[in-house]
């Protein structure tokens, strides 16, 4: 029994080392002014790499990423909320079949629908960051609508009817009754859409025409081998900064995401 326990502890320790090593390398390299890419304790400590990653072109890429991710998450939430509420409350024939058809179409790989999206954006002059927001919103809408419809289905219609009898308008009912009771779903949709857009690489690669429009995902890619060498300290600091907003958004929305979850089945 002791041998089994010891073997299990050794295996867990080995897995922990494998899991922690990349993060240890990332942190040690980010604060090492003379980083060489090796996993070692820095001889000197400094924040020069972070300062470099938060100035000039890198800072502009951070703002571009925040604009794309925040814009996509907000636009998706607004459009999906209205569409999902209509699908939840209106007795539209075949509404569930329509919704699931959209979800199935979304399961197609992005590369399979990239060409028509690209030429559509080109025809209306949206080969820019705004075009990326519109394209990613369209791609994220099916799952967002499906999730929000399930949350709206669980809100008792009697509450809306009572508010209507009291003279509340539809906008007031949505703002005071439906949306507060569905805040978990709204938070989940916003968070997952934000992280999806934040990590997006393919659409910025094709839509961003100049380096001034690059988000951080493109900036991280282009930084490899720039000027014929790799600045390991800068890349490590840039990677940490790149990961920070998504983690911060999670902790900001965690309380809302952990409360008031609705069922996940589509009602008939």
Q: What is the pLDDT of residue 96?
A: 76
CATH number of 48-157+185-257: 1.10.3720.10
Tell me the residue ranges of DSSP E strands in the chain.
Answer: none
Q: Tally DSSP H helices, then E strands, for the chain.
A: 13, 0
How far is the C-alpha of 97 from the C-alpha of 109, rounded, in Å?
A: 21
Residue 39 pLDDT grade (very low, low, confident, very high; cuts 50, 70, 90) = low
Q: What is the pLDDT of residue 15?
A: 78
Length of the chain in residues, anyone?
A: 268
- Give residue-wise pLDDT tens across range 250-268: 888 887 766 554 443 334 4
Dihedral in degrees, nearest 10, Cα atoms 187, 188, 192, 195: 40
Q: What is the pLDDT of residue 265?
A: 38
CA 217 vs. chain centroid, Å, equals 12
Q: Are 77 and 189 in contact (CB under 8 A)?
A: yes
The encoded tokens of residue 204 equal 């910025």
- Give residue-wise pLDDT tens across range 98-116: 777 877 777 777 777 888 8
How far is the C-alpha of 66 from the C-alpha of 245, rounded, in Å?
A: 8
Q: What is the pLDDT of residue 4?
A: 66
- Give residue-wise pLDDT tens across range 172-215: 888 888 888 888 889 999 999 999 999 999 899 888 878 788 89
Q: What is the pLDDT of residue 37?
A: 67
């Amino acid at each position: 029994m002791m041998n089994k326990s010891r073997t299990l502890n050794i295996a867990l320790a080995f897995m922990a080392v494998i899991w922690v090593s990349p993060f240890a390398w990332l942190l040690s390299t980010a604060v090492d002014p003379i980083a060489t890419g090796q996993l070692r304790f820095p001889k000197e400590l400094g924040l020069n790499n972070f300062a470099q990653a938060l100035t000039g072109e890198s800072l502009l890429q951070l703002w571009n990423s925040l604009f794309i991710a925040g814009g996509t998450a907000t636009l998706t939430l607004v459009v999906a909320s209205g569409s999902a509420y209509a699908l939840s409350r209106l007795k539209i024939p075949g509404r569930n079949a329509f919704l699931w058809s959209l979800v199935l179409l979304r399961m197609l790989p992005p590369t399979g629908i990239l060409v028509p999206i690209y030429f559509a954006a080109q025809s209306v002059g949206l080969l820019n960051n705004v075009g990326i927001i519109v394209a990613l919103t369209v791609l994220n809408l099916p799952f967002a609508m499906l999730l929000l419809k399930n949350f709206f289905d669980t809100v008792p219609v009697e509450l809306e009817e009572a508010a209507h009898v009291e003279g509340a308008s539809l906008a007031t009912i949505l703002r005071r009754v439906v949306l507060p009771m569905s805040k978990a779903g709204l938070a989940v949709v916003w968070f997952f859409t934000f992280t999806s857009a934040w990590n997006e690489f393919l659409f910025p690669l094709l839509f961003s025409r100049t380096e001034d429009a690059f988000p951080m995902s493109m900036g991280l890619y282009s930084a490899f081998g720039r000027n014929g060498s790799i600045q390991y300290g800068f890349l490590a600091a840039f990677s940490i900064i790149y990961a920070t907003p998504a983690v911060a958004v999670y902790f900001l929305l965690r309380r809302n995401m952990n409360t008031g979850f609705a069922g996940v089945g589509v009602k008939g």
